[in-house]
């Protein structure tokens, strides 16, 4: 378990602060993460990676020459927000465009995609690439749905080495695609991980058993088997990966592969070496030539007791990039000439950050009626933060049945930040629309992850509909909720029946629109819609997930409602109470 922490909510920020203090030769801090401390040649493509905390040395430990130019760092097991990614990418950009790289998880896809849109709006040519190497999370016919685990490293490194050679953005992206298509990973675990402040692991494995096919966010495995010996574990890993070769590899004999035996947090290096001796022998028996193997902790999951094996099948070009030198805090290969610190860019970045937030924040002008409505909005957001806080542990338990168990933590961070931002805006005389949009940005920024992106979208849609000029009536609120429902489906790609938040949001929005059309007051219409949402959320217990981290563990989630749908139902009921109090 994680024993050394202060406030669990501050763990990720404090860890990043300590990391940068310890590694100033390689990295410097920027808002949202870190970038190289050394100068990047003008015109070079910037490879910016990122993901949640809890995976060190991924992602911040892989920033340095020969590897990433920057890393956006989210909260524990939660993707960084679009604003964080945009900030890091802006600081890392050297004029050659930006390639954003991350593991294939819904929250990362959403936030990195939004950041790419913002960078493009700034005039920065940007591409994205999601690593999807975990063969246990989807079959070959659905490889695009696979999770990104320890295969992150060879794919990141291939793209970064290509960027170091001065290749243009499109060619760097093609290298990433080639490396991703030829990378496969598979893992096993003997116990789950425990998040800072938690008193139990996200999942447990019965005595003398192991979980097979696991993720790196505390997700349980897709199955269980008897606890193996080291040689038996090696055989399982190797044989599983050799069953699925890249399309252009007919036989492993005579092929070259970069090999990574990765420790997930608490398996000792000596144990890894015992396993690797057999991995190397089995690959040799299959005729595979191993190129520059890595044995150690490369992509972890806090204190999870587990290991994974990654094979990247090399051609001449990929071997050149895999062997290329790199110098980062946690990963070094070959030798590089000494580099000068990037003092000029560091001073520019520092100056920009010093002026990024005005000393006296201003808000758009608002009517008295809208400022009055903002008081109700603030009360509603207070109710949201309170109900989420009261149910955070329950939401985490629900999420951990087939997911990573962090839904309650993320929702608490997001709702608390949203209420705080709303209170600040209200104190400055903001109208209802501005109060909601400020809350939206804070929720997305502090929560990260899928829920952060989606709840930021919900609040922003409501804020846009309400505006700052008039007192919003029931019809306008219903219109904003309908817009939010459409925006969430568009952004996340989920529909009713996928076992997501959408299964409660769409019925809620439809019921609210129908009730207001009948002429009901906002409080009465909201009451009816909240009842509909509660029933719909409960009904998700009978569904199999078709999206998100729970999808690989679909059967395990039967009988348990979706955490996102359940939290939305709780929130709609809490908001109804605030509407009654401010009727």
217 is catalytic: yes
Q: Is there a contact between 369 and 470 (Cβ–Cβ < 8 Å)?
A: yes
Backbone torsions φ then ψ of 467, nearest 5 degrees: 65, -170
Q: Is there a contact between 454 and 491 (Cβ–Cβ < 8 Å)?
A: yes
* Nearest to 399, CA basis, from 460, 449, 441: 449
Q: Is there a contact between 504 and 454 (Cβ–Cβ < 8 Å)?
A: no
DSSP-derived 3-state class of residue 149: coil
Q: How far is CA 216 from the centre of its chain?
A: 11
The active-site residue, picked from 55, 217, 419, 566, is: 217
Distance CA 65, CA 37 (A): 9
Q: Is there a contact between 150 and 133 (Cβ–Cβ < 8 Å)?
A: yes
Distance CA 117, CA 33 (A): 19
Q: Is there a contact between 526 and 376 (Cβ–Cβ < 8 Å)?
A: no
Q: Is there a contact between 523 and 547 (Cβ–Cβ < 8 Å)?
A: no
Please confirm whether the linkage preceding 59 is cis (ω < 30° from 0). Answer: yes
Q: Is there a contact between 549 and 563 (Cβ–Cβ < 8 Å)?
A: no
**How many of the other CB atoms lie within 10 Å of CB of 244?**
14
**How many of the other CB atoms lie within 10 Å of CB of 379?**
18
How does DSSP classify residue 207? T
User: Could you tell me which residues are beta bridge partners of residue 127?
Assistant: 99
Distance CA 70, CA 46 (A): 8
Q: Is there a contact between 160 and 114 (Cβ–Cβ < 8 Å)?
A: no
Q: How far is CA 358 from the centre of its chain?
A: 29
Distance CA 152, CA 101 (A): 9
Q: Is there a contact between 113 and 128 (Cβ–Cβ < 8 Å)?
A: yes
- Conformation bin of residue 212: beta by default, left when phi > 0, alpha when psi is -120 to 50: beta
Helices (H), 401-546: 407-427, 432-447, 449-466, 474-492, 502-517, 522-539
Distance CA 60, CA 381 (A): 34
Please give the structure tokens belonging to residue 54.
């809890």
Active centre residues (catalytic): 217
């Amino acid at each position: 378990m994680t024993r050394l922490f202060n406030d669990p909510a501050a763990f990720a920020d404090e860890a990043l602060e300590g990391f940068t203090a310890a590694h100033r030769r390689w990295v410097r801090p920027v808002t949202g993460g870190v970038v190289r401390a050394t100068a990047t040649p003008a015109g070079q493509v910037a490879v910016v990676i990122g993901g949640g905390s809890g995976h060190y040395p991924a992602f911040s430990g892989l920033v340095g020459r020969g590897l990433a130019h920057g890393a956006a760092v989210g909260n524990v097991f939660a993707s960084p927000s679009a604003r964080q990614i945009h900030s890091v990418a802006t600081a890392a950009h050297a004029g050659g465009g930006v390639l954003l790289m991350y593991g294939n998880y819904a929250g990362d896809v959403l936030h990195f995609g939004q950041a790419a849109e913002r960078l493009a709006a700034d005039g920065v040519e940007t591409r994205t690439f999601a690593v999807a190497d975990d063969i246990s999370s989807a079959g070959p016919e659905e490889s695009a749905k696979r999770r990104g685990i320890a295969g992150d490293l060879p794919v990141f490194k291939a793209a970064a080495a290509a960027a170091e050679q001065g290749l243009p953005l499109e060619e760097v992206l093609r290298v990433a695609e080639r490396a991703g298509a030829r990378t496969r990973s598979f893992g096993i675990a003997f116990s789950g991980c425990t998040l800072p402040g938690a008193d139990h692991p996200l999942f447990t494995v019965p005595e003398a058993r192991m979980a097979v096919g696991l993720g790196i966010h505390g997700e349980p495995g897709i199955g269980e088997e008897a606890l193996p010996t080291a040689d038996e574990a090696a055989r399982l890993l190797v044989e599983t990966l050799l069953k699925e070769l890249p399309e252009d590899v007919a036989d492993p004999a005579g092929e070259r592969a970069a090999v990574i035996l990765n420790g997930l947090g608490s398996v000792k290096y000596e144990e890894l070496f015992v396993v690797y001796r057999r991995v190397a022998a089995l690959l040799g028996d299959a005729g595979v030539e191993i190129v520059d193997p890595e044995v150690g902790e490369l992509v972890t999951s806090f204190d999870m007791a587990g290991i994974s094996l990654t094979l990247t099948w090399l051609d001449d070009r990929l071997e050149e990039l895999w062997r290329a030198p790199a110098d980062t805090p946690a990963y070094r290969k070959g030798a590089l000439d000494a580099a000068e610190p990037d003092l000029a860019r560091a001073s520019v970045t520092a100056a920009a950050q010093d002026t990024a937030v005005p000393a006296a924040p201003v808000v758009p002008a608002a009517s008295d009626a809208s400022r009055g409505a903002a008081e109700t909005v603030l009360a509603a957001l207070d109710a949201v933060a309170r109900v989420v806080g009261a149910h955070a542990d329950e939401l985490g338990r629900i999420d951990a049945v087939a997911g990573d168990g962090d839904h309650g933590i993320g929702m608490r961070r997001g709702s608390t930040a949203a209420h705080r931002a709303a209170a600040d805006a209200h104190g400055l005389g903001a109208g209802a629309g501005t109060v909601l949009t400020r809350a939206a940005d804070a929720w997305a920024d502090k929560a990260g992850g899928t829920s952060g992106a989606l709840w930021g979208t919900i609040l922003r849609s409501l804020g846009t509909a309400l505006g700052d000029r008039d007192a919003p009536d029931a019809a306008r609120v219903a219109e904003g909720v309908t817009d939010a429902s459409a925006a969430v489906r568009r952004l996340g790609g989920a529909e009713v029946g996928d076992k997501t938040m959408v299964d409660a949001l769409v019925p809620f929005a439809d019921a609210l629109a129908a009730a207001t059309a009948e002429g009901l007051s906002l409080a009465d219409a909201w009451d009816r819609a909240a009842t509909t949402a509660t029933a719909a959320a409960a009904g998700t217990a009978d569904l199999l997930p078709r999206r998100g981290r729970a999808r690989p563990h679909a059967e395990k989630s039967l009988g348990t409602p979706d955490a996102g749908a359940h939290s939305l139902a709780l929130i709609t009921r809490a908001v109804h109470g605030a509407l009654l109090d401010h009727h």
